[in-house]
Amino acid sequence: MAPPSLDDVDAQLKAIVQNLYSLTVTAYQHEGAPSVNAMREEIMSLLRNLNDLKSTAPHINVEIPPEVISYVEHARNPDIYTREMMEQLQRSNQLLKGKSEAFAQLRDILAKEIMTGIPELKGDVKRVVESTGGTVAN
Amino acid sequence: MPGLLIMNQNGANGAAGAKSPQDRNGDTILSPGHSKPVINGDRVISPPERGGAFSINGGKQIVAGQVDIPASLLDLPPEIIHITNSDAYSQDVYCKVSTLLSRVVQECFLGLQELIPKMADLPVAQQSGMTNGLGNHAVNGLGDGNTTRNNVQKKIMMMEFAEYHRTRFVKLLVLSAWSRRAEQVQRLIDVSGWLRGEMGSYYAVVDAMGNLKREMEQATLKSPDIETALKVLATGKASWMPEMGYIPPEPLSPQEILKLWRDGNVRCSLRLNLHEELPRHLKQWKSGSGRVTFTVPGEFELDVTTSTEDTSGPWWFIDLRFLFSPAPEIPDSYFRSALETQANVVLSASGLTGCFDYLHNLVLTHKIAILKAQASQLTAANWAGSIKVEPVRRSLVVQYWTELLGKKSWIEIGIVSGKPKNGKISWKGPTPPQLSVRWFRQGVEVKESGLSFDWDSLSMENMLRKVIAHHISYMLETIRDRVVVAARGIPTLKTEVSTSDTEPSDCLLEVNLGTSATSTTVLVDPVTGRFAMQPCTAFSAAREKEASKSLDSIAFMSNTIPHVLCASLQDSVDKQAQLLGWTKPIINVRTDAIREAVKQDVVRHTLYRARGWTQNWVLAGVFNLSGMSWWVIETESSNTGVKIITAERIHSDSSTTTKGLALRHVMTTIQRKAVAEITLSATTQSLVRREVPHSVVSPPQSRTASQELVDISSLYFSADAFLASDQKDAEPWAHNLMRVNYESFDLEKSTVCFSVNGEMAKGFEHEIATIVRASHSSDIKFLGQNKSNFRVLVSASFGTSLEKPLSARLREVTHLLNFISILRARKFQVDRITPNRITFRYGNSGANSATVAFPPNQPIKLTFPRSNPHNRIRAHLTAGLNAQRHDPAKFRAAVNLFTYHLLATLPFASALVSLHNPEPEALAEEPTGTGKETAEQRATQPAIHAHAPDTFRLSYRNPRVSFDANLRVQHDKHVWHIQDSAATNPDPRAKAAPRSEQLTEALKKLWREDGAGGESWMRWSGRVRLRVGGMWSLFLRRRWW
């Protein structure tokens, strides 16, 4: 038997939600013995579903950031979290890119200056620059 | 550097590759589940999970992916680190959905479990038989609608429970839906974390580059422009130097300078006189040369000037000179410019007063710094090891005598603010802060030390010396006071403290016991603080050592000084005692015992025994602060040791004589005095026993000291009382008062010789004259004009009373005098008199002589010449004299009787002699005993027995008859009774031999012949001496009859 997936969990969750909803309704529209029986059925079903979910749960190997839980807890859409995450990541990426380019320039200029100032180091400087992805203009 | 570059490379590539998760969905880069610790610059690259490319740092590449990767990218950076919960974060990065689900399920179940009993507890109106498994719900159903309160309550509870948990499960549903993207988001998070790391690396690189640049500063070579420098220095200018083209100011002419100065003087004077309110310490100023010079004595001279008369205008600092020594010169240097700048700032801010405060503090601090430097030099020089310098903030603490035990002593040089304690400022204005010294003497601050220091010429050594001089003075004075108190006003103890205010070596304490010979000087070494004593002896050296080890050396020294003084005294005495031959007896007598015996303080003592002294007497030299005193001590050995019985002081003025001959002389005197004292004391005791009035008289005080030393006490006693038993009724022959003086001491025999001096009583001069004429003895001498003073020598053995020898001696004199007076009364002719022997003559024209000898301590000896008729009764006479010898009155009677006997028995004795010699004329020359006894002589000569001086018996053998002759006094006449002894005293043996008729007849005739006689006796008086011969003739005649 394949390990239960998130879909199974979804189904079980939905069943529990249904049970709870039925309970509410039954309690609200109480009509004596039939209602009592129905309620009993519902509760039994709820317990069963809870049990199922409990046994399924350990097999779900998914981890989510606590921020997402917090979002849901406060009734916000977790997709917003996803989106914000994306945007922030893009920003950082661009910043880092700029920095790396600026450093690459610095590296080149520095290399040039060092080679001019201390010609003896030319070979070393060249090697360093090339191994770091730059080119040395002769 | 290489590491740095590699990081940069990683960063650059990483930045480039950061897009890839988005673009390529992370296919090539991310490897979930893979995590590695990050080490800066040393990343290990692991192969991606799904192929692609991995690289080893350094450039070798392995291509294994489906994407065509440019060559530059083949050299791939390491994988991005996946962040998991197991990373070293303090809290979980992720929550597990499974846990979340389980928890919510559990919560829901628990809620249900809680809800149902709660609902069951709510009572609802029950109807029989209507119970149901689910209890209340069923009951509710059959009830009176759903309207009861409990019912409604139950419904609400149920609905709330269901609704609450439904919401939660819906949220779980949402999460579950989102969870499908969780893996992607996780990658995003990883990338984000990596990006942050990269950013941090960039910042670190910038930092490192900055540090590198700063450190490289040291490595740069200086490149001075030597050429220009040489040019400028040589020629004054360099052609390539820019020329600014400044126009130099015109030099001032002397007149202008003078004018400027004058103006300056006026300005300064105006300001100072009119506008400035100068504090007290700035009142001393003078203006000149365009400036005003303030002088603060002992500190500095300050030149300032001003450019304006305006009071608000600033003063300008010109120059500063220090007025104390050693003071630094202020060269044109960095210090001067800094000082000038600072001074100008202060001047402009707070004016002259502020500037004064600033400079004043500068001077004070600098003075302390100078002192500190000097102190440090001292610690390296001759004060090394004995001072300790400790700067404490702005103050300086110098501890001296560091090696000394006990509490520390130090001085503290600091600055005291001029603020009075009560907060009031005197009318003179506030006092500026000053340097001050606090002196802690053995841990206690000395407030009233009276120390004042010269702050103008600073010298740490002088300060130290001054303080130490005060300290030493205090120590010595304390010791002096304690010694004086301990001496309790003894006048011989002389103490003198010389103190100095500045020189500690001049502080000394001189102690002596009246003379300079015993003088001891106590000094304190200024550097180490140890005591020293002069003159240095073995004893004092040991004490010095102990003093340096004691915690309270002052107390130790004040206790030691008496010992040192007494020890020096004792030392000199010991030397002389050795020369005098005094020995130190091995007697264990404790000082306490001596102290008790002599009843004064004893610091030290020595016991001596001079030659000739007996075991139980010692001479004790007692030394204390009053000098030495000498005591004669009588000891007694007991089981527990030696016990002192008596202690008699020998008075002498010798307490302070210590040198050589003088001391020996004193000690000789002491010895003589001691011997005399011992005997006199014993004599006094016996006189007290005999109740003889007496007194011991010390030599008169008026004499000079040297004479007084020689004088020895005399004993005066009443001769009458002393001789009372000897003299009885007799007239005293001497004046009542007699004096006993010490004469000599015989070391060999251990006898003491005294002389007894007295004056003869009137009426005895005659006898004295006789004696004087005849006397050649040294035992008794008569002196004075009339020879009325006599002197008798008496000796007694050491330590015993003179009483017995004295009384024996005096008795002899008495006897002598008695004898002489009686002889004179009998009109005997005295031939020769010495104190021991009298030769006299008696009888008709002094025909008979006799000699009486009085050898001392022996019986009187009587001797007659052989021809003397009294030889027959000599023994009786001698016995008569000796019998009463110890009773002077009886003795006198005995002497009287003796002379009487001599006179009274002389005729009879002579008759007896002639009886033995029938022809007295012929036989007078012949000795009695040696004559040839003829038969006739034997018949006629009776045997004569002297029973007593005046009783004789004459026994005849043929006829056997004996007669008794007794001397009797009848009618003032001496009469000899001669009678037949058979008649008066019948002899049994005589009766046995009956007398013949002729004899009886003859006797009767004899008795009858003398008319005065009776039947058996006859009277024979000396007066009818001639008849005696007749009687004997009768006897002779009748014998043959």
Confidence band of B917 (pLDDT split at 50, 70, 90):
low
Comparing B623 with B781, the larger pLDDT belongs to B623
Distance (Å, whole) CA A97 – CA B18: 9
Alpha carbons A88 and A94: distance in angstroms, whole number = 10
The chain-wide mean pLDDT, for chain B, equals 72
- Confidence grade of residue B31 (pLDDT, cut at 50, 70, 90): very low
Q: Return d(Cα B1019, Cα B1037) in angstroms, integer.
A: 20
Kind of pairing between the strands at B508-512 and B494-498? antiparallel
Beta-sheet strands, E only, within B487-575? 494-498, 508-512, 520-524, 531-534
Q: Which of A33, A115, A110 is closest to B143 using CA atoms?
A: A33
Q: Is the pLDDT of residue B648 over 80?
A: no
Beta-carbon separation of A65 and B189 below 8 A: yes
- The residue ranking higher by pLDDT, B160 or B929, is B160
CB within 8 Å: B171 and A72: yes
- Which of B158, B182, B196 is the closest to A62 by Cβ? B182
Q: What is the pLDDT of residues B378-426, one digit of tens each?
A: 888 888 888 888 888 888 888 888 888 878 888 888 888 766 666 666 6
Count contacts between A and B (CB, < 8 Å).
Answer: 217
pLDDT category at B1020 given cuts 50, 70, 90 is low
Q: Is B168 on the interface with A (CB under 8 A)?
A: no
Give mean pLDDT in consecutive 10-residue pieces for chain A, a chain of 138 residues: 76 88 85 81 88 86 85 87 90 91 88 88 87 74
What is the reported pLDDT for B131?
Answer: 43
Taking the CA of residue B305 and the nearest CA in chain A, the distance in Å comes to 56
Residues 6+ apart with CB under 8 A from B417: B433
Q: What residues of chain B, 427 to 446, have a C-beta less than 8 Å from chain A?
A: none
DSSP state of B431: P
Q: Is A5 on the interface with B (CB under 8 A)?
A: no
Residue A87 sits at the chain B interface (C-beta within 8 Å): no
Residues sharing a CB contact under 8 Å with residue B101, sequence separation 6 or more, in sequence order = A9, A53, A54, A56, A57, A60, B172
**Cβ within 8 Å, pair A65-B95:** yes
B17 vs B918, higher pLDDT: B918
Q: How far is B173 from chain A (nearest CA, A)?
A: 6
Q: For residues A65 and B96, give the distance between their C-alpha atoms in angstroms, rounded to a whole number.
A: 9
Phi, psi of B380 (to 5 degrees): -90, -10
**Count of H-run helices and E-run strands, chain A:** 5, 1
Our CA-based measurement puts residue A138 at a distance from the nearest CA of chain B, in whole angstroms, of: 20
Checking if the pLDDT of B992 tops 60, the result is no
Q: Do B94 and A64 make contact, defined as CB atoms within 8 angstroms?
A: yes
Cβ burial, residue B679 (10 Å; 0-12/13-18/19+): buried
B5–A17 CB contact, under 8 Å = no
pLDDT of residue B208: 93
Comparing B948 with B144, the larger pLDDT belongs to B948
pLDDT score recorded for residue A90 = 92
Q: Is B990 on the interface with A (CB under 8 A)?
A: no
- Could you give the CA distance from residue B162 to residue A20 in angstroms, rounded to a whole number? 5
**Residue B332 backbone class (left: φ over 0; alpha: ψ -120 to 50; beta: rest):** beta
d(CA B497, CA B482): 13
The pLDDT tens digits of the residues spanning B491-503 come to 777 788 888 878 8
Cβ-Cβ contacts under 8 Å, B106 against chain A? 54
The strand pairing partners of B970, in sequence order, are B973
pTM as predicted: 0.49
Contact (CB<8Å) A88/B174: no
Q: What is the CATH number of domain B676-802?
A: 3.30.1460
Min Cα distance B221 → chain A (Å) is 13
pLDDT at position A91 is 92
CA distances from B747 to B672, B743, B782 (A): 11, 13, 28
Distances B732 to A107, B150, B695, B721, B789 between C-alpha atoms, Å: 153, 160, 21, 11, 15
pLDDT at B80 over 80: no
Whether A107 has its CB under 8 Å from any CB of chain B: the answer is yes
pLDDT at B1028 > cutoff 50? no
A83 touches chain B (CB under 8 A): no
* Strands of the B961-970 sheet, one edge to the other: B943-948, B951-956, B961-970, B973-980, B1017-1021
pLDDT digits (tens, 9 = 90+) for B553-576: 788 888 888 788 788 778 878 887
Looking at beta carbons, which residues of chain A come within 8 Å of B112?
43, 46-47
Q: Which of B39-53, B152-166, B957-971, B999-1013 has the lowest mean pLDDT?
A: B39-53
> What SS3 class is residue B689?
helix
Q: Is B137 on the interface with A (CB under 8 A)?
A: yes
Mean pLDDT of B742-764: 75
CA distance A74 to B172: 13
Contact between B44 and B78 (Cβ < 8 Å): yes
In this prediction, residue B207 has a pLDDT band, given cuts at 50, 70 and 90, of very high
**DSSP H/E element including B1032:** helix B1025-1039
B495 close to B483: Cβ distance less than 8 angstroms: yes
**Helix (H, G, I), strand (E, B), or coil: what is residue B228?**
helix
Q: How far is A67 from chain B (nearest CA, A)?
A: 9
Q: Measured between alpha carbons, how far is B646 from B634 in angstroms, rounded to an integer?
A: 5
pLDDT at B676 over 60: yes
Give contacts of A135 with chain B, Cβ < 8 Å: none
Q: What is the pLDDT of residue B711?
A: 63
| C-alpha closest to that of B701 among B693, B709, B690 | B709
Are A72 and B179 an interchain contact pair (Cβ–Cβ within 8 Å)?
A: no
**What digits encode the pLDDT tens for the residues B315-370?**
888 888 888 878 777 777 788 888 888 888 888 888 888 888 888 888 888 888 88
Residue spans of the domains in chain B: they are: 80-123+148-208, 253-420+430-458, 566-674, 676-802, 908-1041
Q: Nearest-CA distance from A42 to chain B in Å?
A: 11
Share of chain B above pLDDT 90, in %: 1
Query: Residue B850: what are its φ and ψ, rounded to 5°?
Result: -145, 155
A15/B contact by beta carbon, under 8 A: no
ipTM: 0.85
Q: Please, which residues have CB within 8 angstroms of residue B611's CB and are 6 or more apart in sequence?
A: B581, B582, B583, B747
B192 Cβ under 8 Å from any chain A Cβ: yes
The predicted pLDDT at position B28 comes to 37
Are A30 and B155 a contacting pair at CB < 8 A? yes
Report how far residue B794's alpha carbon sits from residue B811's, in angstroms, rounded to the nearest whole number: 12
| Option in A39, A59, A92 nearest B137 (CB) | A39
Asked if the C-beta of A126 comes within 8 angstroms of chain B's C-beta atoms, the answer is: no
Average pLDDT estimate for B41-63 = 42
Residue, of B332 and B32, whose pLDDT is higher: B332
B308 touches chain A (CB under 8 A): no
Whether B130 contacts B142, CB under 8 Å: yes
CB contact burial B737-749 (16+ within 10 A = b; e otherwise): ebebbbbebeeee
Q: Tell me how long chain A is.
A: 138
pLDDT per position as a tens digit, B812-844: 777 777 777 777 777 777 777 776 777 888 776
Q: Which of B224-238, B797-811, B1023-1037 has the lowest mean pLDDT?
A: B1023-1037
Token code pair at residue B1022: 């000396």
User: What pLDDT, on a 0 to 100 scale, did the predictor assign at position B40?
Assistant: 44
Of A113-127, B93-107, B976-990, the poorest mean pLDDT is in: B976-990
Residue B390 β-bridge partners: B397
State whether the Cα torsion A27-A28-A32-A34 is positive or negative. Answer: negative
CA–CA separation, B934 and B796 (whole Å): 59
pLDDT top residue among B745 and B248? B248
Nearest alpha carbon to residue B580 among B695, B647, B661, B471: B661
Is the sign of the CA dihedral A40, A41, A42, A47 positive or negative? positive
**Element (H or E) spanning B130, and its range?**
none
Which pairs with CB-CB distance under 8 Å and at least 24 residues apart come from B682-689? Answer: B682/B799, B682/B800, B682/B801, B682/B802, B683/B715, B683/B740, B683/B801, B683/B802, B683/B803, B683/B806, B684/B715, B685/B801, B686/B801, B686/B802, B686/B803, B687/B717, B687/B722, B687/B803
Cα of B239 to nearest chain A Cα, Å:
30
B132 touches chain A (CB under 8 A): yes
- CB of B101 less than 8 A from some CB of A: yes
pLDDT (mean) for B230-259: 84
Nearest-by-CA chain A residue for B139: A32
pLDDT at B75: 64
For B626, the enclosing helix (H) or strand (E) is: none
User: Positive or negative, the Cα torsion across B105, B107, B109, B115?
Assistant: negative
B25 at A interface, C-beta within 8 A: no
